[in-house]
Amino acid sequence: MNRIRRTRHLFWVIFFDFLAAAISWSLFYLLRKSILNEDPTGFTITTLYGAFAVGVLWVIFVALASGYWDIAKQSRVKQFLNGVLTSLIHSIFVFFVLLLDDQGVDNYTAYYRTFSTYFLVHLVIVSIIKTIELSVLKRYIRKGSISYNTLLIGSNKKAYEIYKELQESRFTLGFYFVGYVHVFDKTKDMLNDELRHFGDYHNTAKIVRRCNIEQVIIALEPSEHKRIQQIINILEGMDVKISIIPDLYQILIGSVRVNHIFGVPLIEIKQQIVPVWQSVLKRLFDILFSSSVLVLGLPFFITVGIITKATSRGSMFFAQIRIGKDEKPFVIYKFRSMRTNAEKETGPALSKDDDPRITKWGKFMRKTRIDEVPQFWNVLKGDMSIVGPRPERNHYIKEIVKKAPHYRHLLKVRPGITSLGQVKYGYAENVDQMIKRLNYDILYIENMSLVMDFRIILFTVLIVFQGRGK
């Protein structure tokens, strides 16, 4: 029911954002007549079309700026500051698309005046509407109409104190505590009289699913901190927000992110790996780049396929099931570099140096990474990205997770044709090497950006031309 209410509130927020932008454009249209010394005229159908287009465009800009992400928890001050930047970018876009060729503008001074007028009108109106929206949402939280099912992990003094403090501020943060789990059996249970006890923390995943938990707060004593990584691994891949109550050391080194200046300090485990706008740009780049490669390189790919077919028996392509984003399986394509049915007798096996299963032509393709080229089709389909952790088979994922449970962190993003792990480490010959390469891939995910993607692509191109693949 909480999710349904929040969805309904989000719909109205989006509607009023659209309305605010449309009103801003309409008011600017009237002011523009005065700025350009034109005869005042009433609204036309073109004006209404413009207001509608600007309203839709503004909603898209807010969405790309993650403005609808956890909107009920946003700070009004932070929202206003983000709105200034988003409004500026939006106004620049509108200026170049709708105002630059305005027939009534014949000098730069008029351009500056029209742009600044639209920006200020838009900023004032949308800021007022947004402030009202957030105030209404905060009121719903205070009334309990909007809340988040919350599970507390911990049962000692720290957990008890945090629970009491959060209970006092629940009308601003919206936490609704469903219950708690303990970490160590031989510790004093101080929450038993306050909350429902769900038992040991190993049951956390089941509790989250059964009770529709949306927020998990980890409140452990310093002696229990070694369990934090295990708890995060248990929750990996689940649609739940995770926050950790910091100790003094973490506060001093600056790892605490405070969303509410008067609230309880929380270290929030990042759920949104990159901003929405970066995700959209990354996907657009993937589509444009892979389309260009497949079209322009078609004659070359046909030649490679013919050579592959002519130098060994079997199909020119190799297809295999790999695990992609959100643990969804997909079929990956390569130019075949091994003998047909190479694993028929051995079962799943990674390639090694001087692997007898690899054909002579296959060795050349692997050194130059030509065998990976058909994966641009996987990118176009949306199974993969140009840059991202290399996808693995389910068999090896199970083996890796036994030794490195944090591997599942990689499954939050689309796998890639190339990766930081591939560039820095190369192909892995066994599970232990996969785990070593994993460190680079984790580093990539924690620092994902378009700039890093371009750098990895450049390093990959260098490896291809130098023939340093494997």
The pLDDT tens digits of the residues spanning 48-78 come to 888 999 999 999 999 888 788 777 677 777 7
Task: Give the three-class secondary structure for 422.
Answer: helix
Count of structural domains, the chain: 3
Other CB atoms closer than 10 Å to residue 263's CB: what's the count?
15
Do 134 and 27 belong to one domain? Answer: yes
Which of 118, 143, 168 terminates a domain? The answer is 143
Do 293 and 433 belong to one domain? Answer: yes
Do 173 and 313 belong to one domain? Answer: no
Do 240 and 116 belong to one domain? Answer: no
Angle 203-204-206 (CA atoms, 0-180°, nearest 5)?
A: 70
Structure tokens at 305: 């396929």
What average pLDDT does the structure give for the chain? 82
pLDDT at 100 over 50: yes
- If one compares 464 and 33, the residue with the highest pLDDT of the two is 464
How much is the pLDDT for 249?
47
Average of per-residue pLDDT across 449-456? 88
Average of per-residue pLDDT across 243-253? 60
Q: At what angle do helices 276-296 and 45-64 cross, to 10 degrees?
A: 100
Q: Which domain holds residue 335?
A: 276-466
pLDDT at 254 over 60: no
- Comparing 170-174, 191-195, 354-358, the range with the smallest average pLDDT is 170-174
By the 8 A CB rule, do 83 and 1 touch?
no
Do 397 and 462 belong to one domain? Answer: yes
User: Would you place residue 261 in the very low, low, confident or very high pLDDT band (cuts 50, 70, 90)?
Assistant: very low
Do 340 and 419 belong to one domain? Answer: yes
DSSP type of residue 219: -
Which of 143, 162, 197 terminates a domain? The answer is 143
Do 326 and 350 belong to one domain? Answer: yes
User: Would you place residue 467 in the very low, low, confident or very high pLDDT band (cuts 50, 70, 90)?
Assistant: low
pLDDT, tens digit, for every residue of 209-247? 999 898 898 888 766 667 887 888 888 778 888 888 776
Average of per-residue pLDDT across 142-160? 84
Which of 268, 303, 330 terminates a domain? The answer is 268
Q: Which residue has the tokens 């891949």?
A: 237
By the 8 A CB rule, do 417 and 383 touch?
no
Do 79 and 185 belong to one domain? Answer: no
**CATH assignment of the domain containing 176:** 3.40.50.720
- Comparing 333-347, 382-396, 404-418, the range with the smallest average pLDDT is 333-347
Do 66 and 114 belong to one domain? Answer: yes
Do 412 and 318 belong to one domain? Answer: yes
Do 428 and 314 belong to one domain? Answer: yes
Do 153 and 128 belong to one domain? Answer: no
Average of per-residue pLDDT across 362-375? 88
